Amino acid sequence: MSDIKKVAVVGGGTMGNGIAHVFAISGFQVKLVETSRELADKALNTIGKNLTRMVTKEKISEKDKEEALLRIQPELNLTEAVKDVDLVVEAVPEHFKLKKKIFAEIDEHAPEHTILATNTSSISITKLAAVTDRSNRFIGMHFFNPVPVMKLVEVIRGLDTGDEVIQAIIEISEKLGKVPVQANDSPGFVSNRVLMPMINEAIYCVYEGVAEPKAVDDVMKLGMAHPMGPLRLADFVGLDVCLDVLNVLYDGFKDPKYRPCPLLVKMVDAGKLGDKTGEGFFKYD
Binding positions for ligand NAD, rule: CB under 6 A: 10-16, 33-35, 39, 78, 91-94, 102, 119-121, 144-145, 237
Nearest approach, Cβ of residue 14 and ligand NAD (Å): 4
Question: Taking Cα atoms as reference points, which of 42, 236, 247 lies closest to residue 149?
Answer: 236
- DSSP calls for 148-207: TT--EEEEEE-TT--HHHHHHHHHHHHHTT-EEEEEES-TTTTHHHHHHHHHHHHHHHHH
Nearer Cβ to ligand NAD (10/115): 10
Is 277 in contact with 239 (CB distance < 8 Å)? no
Spatial distance between the Cα atoms of 234 and 218, rounded to a whole number of angstroms: 14
Is 156 in contact with 185 (CB distance < 8 Å)? yes
Q: What is the DSSP letter of 281?
A: S
Residue nearest to ligand NAD (CB): 13
AA letter at 163: D
Among the listed residues 122, 142, 173, 191, the single catalytic one is 142
Nearest approach, Cβ of residue 58 and ligand NAD (Å): 27
Among the listed residues 154, 173, 191, 200, the single catalytic one is 154
Nearer Cβ to ligand NAD (51/89): 89
Spatial distance between the Cα atoms of 236 and 32, rounded to a whole number of angstroms: 25
Active site residue 136: no
Active site residue 200: no
Spatial distance between the Cα atoms of 125 and 133, rounded to a whole number of angstroms: 14
Nearer Cβ to ligand NAD (179/210): 179
Nearest approach, Cβ of residue 61 and ligand NAD (Å): 28
Nearest approach, Cβ of residue 20 and ligand NAD (Å): 11
Nearer Cβ to ligand NAD (33/216): 33
Among the listed residues 50, 119, 121, 124, the single catalytic one is 121
Active site residue 80: no
Active site residue 142: yes
Active site residues: 121, 142, 154, 192
